[in-house]
Structure 1
């Protein structure tokens, strides 16, 4: 059964959810580990977690559309992160904070592309969604699944 009653997902909903979810130390560390050791996309993981929490899923064939929506921003983000890390020891704290702020703007652009993609798909109700688990398994990050599948407190976001 198609479920669009709680959608379209907005960038603001995903961004606020992401900020709250990512603020937990264990989640942040696991996200960075996923990114740095498994070449995972944290924005994609955050969106999948939002969908899991909303008990929504998409058809298996839609994975390729979603990963394609990451597009050019993904390589730009990767290159920018690498440059920012190299600059860290060579620039002032204020300039480094500006580089972090710019990176957040790129992250938001990527989330915009993900939101647009998700809103173009047919989503269905799913009592036990497992998109985050599927993504971790695709990346070979099985041991991170236990961290990401923990339910988010209902007070921490509005679906």
Structure 2
């Protein structure tokens, strides 16, 4: 997995309406991380997995960017109606830059893991279950 391959996969996968809606539900209602979910889905599609004891490392990979992304996203939402369109679009571009940095941190963490080939991919399901979002896990697995 490279930063570019994950980014391209994410853009393509997230462009599906049902996936985008499920990702936003995961983020807004269950406090899940969409970039982590997308990386896990990439691993699932390549039938790769990591041991359960590595989950803390994956979650720690979000530590540098998640607080900043969360605060920026909130600020952007609050000011949306008060910003000129050009400034709002620039804020979206900056948020995408932060998202890409977060994906780079996730890729770095994945490169430190022992990945194993699996017959039945399960990382996306595992993450949804950890968040209490079992009812939307099936959406990710069918795409």
Same fold (TM over 0.5): yes
Aligned length: 143
Which whole-Å deviations, capped at 9, do the CAs of 1:94-153 have from their partners, x for residues lacking one? 1100000000000000000000010111100001011000000000001101101114xx
CA distance in 1, matches of 2:108, 2:134: 28
Correspondence for 1:122 among 114, 127, 130: 114
* C-alpha RMSD of the superposition: 0.6
Partner of 2:129: 137
Correspondence for 2:64 among 68, 72, 88: 72
Q: Calculate the TM-score normalised by the size of structure 1.
A: 0.89
Q: Calculate the TM-score normalised by the size of structure 2.
A: 0.98
CA distance in 2, matches of 1:17, 1:103: 18
Correspondence for 2:29 among 25, 30, 37: 37
Partner of 1:63: 55
